[in-house]
Chains A and B, each alone.
Chain A
Amino acid sequence: MTGAVAPPAVLVAAGGALGAVLRWRVVAATPTTEYPAGTLVVNVVGSFVLAALTFAAADADTMLLFGTGACGAFTTFASFSVDVVALVDADRPVAAAGHALGNLLGAGLAVALAWLLVA
């Protein structure tokens, strides 16, 4: 047990700011004209990093800063939900289902890969 670097809320806030800004830039840099690929990218990559931190049994402060804060904020469920509903609205039910299942499959494979590499 080492001493806490900072109060938990400060670590989560700092990580959350970092994760949100990184997500914003990745989504902005990802072409999304046909398909909301940016959300898929951040959710899969963020799930891999969080799983790797979890399986590596990172210490509490690291988990608060990079896990709960950065990975939690880098990935998003609200934007994902809005994306899926928007695809249904646009009469693209196959793309909507693909997005819903693609995020699930991608994140699931990312967690499995982290398990194979780290655990």
Chain B
Amino acid sequence: MGIPLRIDARSTALVAVGGAVGAVLRYTVAQAIAGPLGTLAANAAGSLALGALAYEAAATDSVLSADAHTLLGTGCLSAFTTYSTFAVQTAGLAPRWMAANVATTYALGFAGVLVGRAIAATARGDRR
């Protein structure tokens, strides 16, 4: 790649374990709610959780360690949510449902981040 990058075994293991857990959780949701609705549910819930986690990470007095953020954020929540399944499922919908699925997924994803952030702020007792 030309860019010196430190690839340590510890972080790799954390991302791998988080990714495995996130993918299995997403698969479980897809088994319970088949099709685009299941993907929507995972993407909305995962965006909410990552919104809270990212807010927490940005705090100067973050209570979670860097390892916890790597495991939960980079690994689990990023793998729990998916863009590829959303894209392929949307492509398979009738035109009017395509627009509806994109609009709903985007709206719930962005709103999820804001709600997650608000929950994290409330939990920390911050005002923002």
Give me the interface of A with B, judged by CB distance under 8 Å: 8-9, 12-21, 23-25, 28-29, 43, 46-47, 49-51, 54, 64, 68-69, 71-82, 84-86, 100, 103-104, 107-108, 110-112, 115
Is there contact, CB below 8 Å, between B27 and A104?
Answer: no
- Knowing A103-B83, A111-B87, say if A79 contacts B5 (CB, 8 Å): no
A100–B47 alpha-carbon span in the complex (Å): 14
Q: Mark B3-36, 1 if CB is under 8 A from A, else 0.
A: 1010100011001111111111011001000000
Q: Are A15 and B87 in contact (CB under 8 A)?
A: no
The reply to whether B19 and A17 form a contact with Cβ atoms under 8 Å apart is yes
Contact of A68 among B5, B20, B26, B91 (CB under 8 A): B26
Contact among B27, B43, B75 with A20 in the assembled complex (CB-CB below 8 Å): B75
Report if A81-B109 is in contact (Cβ < 8 Å); known contacts: A20-B74, A29-B1, A111-B88.
yes
Residues of B within 8 A of A (CB): 1, 3, 5, 7, 11-12, 15-24, 26-27, 30, 43, 46-47, 49-51, 54, 74-75, 77-88, 91, 102, 105-106, 109-110, 112-114, 117
Q: Which residues of B contact A110 (CB under 8 A)?
A: 87
Min CB distance, A10 to chain B, in Å? 9
Chain B residues with CB under 8 Å of A78's CB are: 43, 46-47, 49-50, 77-78, 80-81, 109
| Minimum distance in angstroms from B110 CB to a CB of chain A | 6
Q: Are B50 and A19 in contact (CB under 8 A)?
A: no
Per the bound structure, the CA–CA distance linking A86 and B114 in Å amounts to 10
Nearest to B2 among chain A residues (CB) is A29
Q: Is the beta-carbon distance between A16 and B24 smaller than 8 angstroms?
A: yes
